[in-house]
Amino acid sequence: MRNLSLAPSPPVVIPLLLLEAGLVIAWSSGFVGMRFALDHAPVFLVVFWRCVLLTLCLLPWVARSVWRTPAPLLLRQAAIGLLAMACYLAGVAKGIEHGVPAGMAALIADLLPVGTALIAACVLRHRLGRLTWAGLGIGLAGTLIVLRDALALGDAPAWAYAMPLLGMLALAVATLWQKRDPSTASMDLLPTLWIQCAVSTVFFGILAGQEGSLAPVASGGFAAAVLWTAVLSSLGGYGLYWLCLRRSSPTRVASVLYLSPAATLLWAWSLFGEPLTWLMLAGTAVCGAGVWLVARGESRT
């Protein structure tokens, strides 16, 4: 597969595998954070305040850089942020809100590697090798094994299942756009995150405002949920996602997230005492084999 970015690669300091391991841990923390948050406030209110917190905290570090960034580049990063953060999170959350079982919503969201590969192959005409497609299939099979006990069709209306699917496709498009556009791919990481969080703040402010007040809930649980999701899920998850994307292909980065359901189950086991079965561990091993095949396939193209 051809390199989708014309920007020079950043100096290699941290091994890519270590960054990918951090990505899995940080990305999976978001599902746990949302579960904890639901006990204290509506999900959109929590996401709104997590975006507000990051926008305010990062501003002193990025103000000069953002001020000097050309307006067209700011607009492109804002559009990528709407797709990657706002549409993705809103699609999954709204699907669950309208009756899609959480396990099924997670499975649809975990189709990201396949969605990214299909868009790259069918729309952008990038060829993927047989090893890559085999790895994507094996990784999906592992995800099905890990989530087997959590899967259910539920009785949600048919259109509700399109919500997490559209959210997944929005993140896939954002991933390819960020990699393909040399200007967005080469922009510094912190200003990138700030712009995306700022535009997501407006988006989730509108959604949360339609459901009620935007005032934060005066409780330690709400504050903990906002801090958890802001630091681990947004700063850590999306920061590492974009960082890995600069060092690797979109298909490989997305495929790494096949391991996030297993990591989420580990979070739930350690924090909430949820059961951890040998079948889940076996599924994790299958996911790992799929990710390894994708990495091998991408390294050969």
| Rounded-to-integer distance, Cα 217 and Cα 106, Å | 27
Whether 82 has a pLDDT exceeding 90, the answer reads yes
More confident residue, 84 or 6: 84
Kindly give, in sequence order, each residue whose CB lies less than 8 Å from that of residue 58, ignoring residues fewer than 6 positions away: 190, 193, 194, 197
Location of structure tokens 């292909």: 249
What's the start-to-end Cα distance of the chain, in Å?
5
**Is residue 196 within a helix (H) or strand (E), and if so which, with residue range?**
helix 189-211
For residue range 282-292, list pLDDT tens digits in order.
888 998 899 99
Whether 10 has a pLDDT exceeding 60, the answer reads no
Kindly give, in sequence order, each residue whose CB lies less than 8 Å from that of residue 248, ignoring residues fewer than 6 positions away: 16, 298
List the one residue out of 291, 213, 214 whose CA is nearest residue 253. 291
For residue range 238-275, list pLDDT tens digits in order.
999 999 999 888 989 999 988 888 887 787 777 767 67
Q: pLDDT class for 76, splitting at 50, 70, 90?
A: very high
Residue 245 lies in a domain: yes
pTM of the full predicted structure?
Answer: 0.87
Residue 226 lies in a domain: yes
Q: Is the dihedral of CA 16, 18, 21, 22 positive or negative?
A: negative
Give rounded-to-5 percent helix, strand, coil for the chain. 80, 0, 20
CA 78 distance to own-chain centroid: 16
More confident residue, 35 or 246: 246
pLDDT of residue 150: 63
* Arithmetic mean of pLDDT, 94-102: 75
pLDDT of residue 32: 74
**Is residue 99 within a helix (H) or strand (E), and if so which, with residue range?**
none
Beta carbons within 10 angstroms of residue 291's beta carbon: 24
Look up the domain containing 96 and give its range: 16-299
Location of structure tokens 């700022």: 198
| Rounded-to-integer distance, Cα 281 and Cα 269, Å | 13
For residue range 101-153, list pLDDT tens digits in order.
766 777 788 889 899 988 988 887 778 888 889 999 998 898 888 877 666 66
Residue 5 lies in a domain: no
Q: pLDDT class for 7, splitting at 50, 70, 90?
A: very low
Report the SS3 class of residue 157: coil
Say if CB 251 and CB 135 are below 8 A apart: no
Say if CB 143 and CB 283 are below 8 A apart: yes
Whether 39 has a pLDDT exceeding 80, the answer reads no
Whether 301 has a pLDDT exceeding 70, the answer reads no
Residue 10 lies in a domain: no
DSSP summary character for residue 123: T
pLDDT of residue 81: 94
For residue range 181-238, list pLDDT tens digits in order.
888 877 889 999 999 999 999 999 999 999 888 999 888 888 988 998 899 989 999 9
Beta carbons within 10 angstroms of residue 115's beta carbon: 22
Indicate the range of 2-16, 63-77, 113-127 predicted with least confidence: 2-16
Whether 2 has a pLDDT exceeding 50, the answer reads no
Q: pLDDT class for 158, splitting at 50, 70, 90?
A: confident
Residue 80 lies in a domain: yes
Reading the block at residue 283, the tokens are 């599924």
* Arithmetic mean of pLDDT, 166-178: 93
Reading the block at residue 30, the tokens are 């978001």
Instruction: Please tell me the total count of domains within the chain.
Output: 1
Residue 2 lies in a domain: no
Instruction: Share the mean pLDDT of the chain.
Output: 85
DSSP summary character for residue 158: G
**Is residue 160 within a helix (H) or strand (E), and if so which, with residue range?**
none
Residue 1 lies in a domain: no
